[in-house]
A = this chain, B = another copy of it.
Amino acid sequence: MPSTRKPTRRGERTRAAILDAAAPLFARHGYRGAPLASVAEAARLTQPGLLHHFPSKERLLLAVLEERDREAMRWMRDTWSEGGSAALRALVALVARNTTTPELVQLFTVLVGEGVSESHPAHEYFEERYERLRGSVRRAIAQGQDTGEFRTDVDAAVLANLVLAMLDGLQIQWLLDRDQDMTAAFEAFVRILLEHLAPRDEG
């Protein structure tokens, strides 16, 4: 077995082009609403040409999601690791950044909506994604509790739940009406949260 270790280098380019073409189309029309041929056309291929790189439409979808998730995580990692209120402020920055990439926001909103159906190909993917994200946020809050920045008599897991819910919910409303100031709204939420998390005055 000579050189099968790393995936082929030639052809990676078109693979990336397909992923880039697929994301906005899945975002605009949903997985079921975006024909494979339209993705192929956007990537300047024919539909069977596309299927040479991805064995099925389903696998293409999962590749798109994983790719975009990886990107977002790279972006977050630095500020995120601090934990506590810094992490919450990092989330505000993430929301602000999201308002500059509506297609990406729509990709996840549209697909998670489709994905709550048990029969949907990305159902398991989203189950795992939310469990993972809840864990991340919970740990960031717990970190703030450990350092004494946050009070310790609140349930970090429940708060993590609320934070993620707020992100998703605001995105829905923002996508339906771009005039909404999603960043300001989330900032207001974080302010309320920090107020709630502030240790009580002793005495």
Contact = CB atoms under 8 A, between A and B. Distances in A.
Contacts of A148: none
Given A113-B110, A113-B114, A188-B155, A131 B177 contact: yes
Interface string A182-203: 0011001100110110000000
A132 interface: no
A79 interface: no
Contacts of A158: 184-185, 188
Contacts of A114: 30, 33, 110, 113-114
Interface stretch (A5-13, A47-55, A161-169): A161-169
Q: Is the interface of A mostly helix, strand, loop or mixed?
A: helix
Contacts of A112: 113, 172
A59 interface: no
Contacts of A180: 161
B113 A109 contact: yes
A32 interface: yes
A64 to B, nearest CB: 16
A117 B193 contact: no
Most buried by B among A112, A159, A169: A169
Given A30-B114, A33-B32, A155-B188, A165 B161 contact: no
A81 interface: no
B116 A172 contact: yes
Most buried by B among A112, A134, A165, A168: A165
Interface of A: 28-30, 32-33, 106, 109-119, 123, 126-127, 130-131, 134, 155, 158-159, 161-162, 164-170, 172-173, 175-177, 180, 184-185, 188-189, 192-193, 195-196
Which 3 A-B pairs give the minimum distances between C-beta atoms? Answer: A113-B113, A165-B169, A169-B169
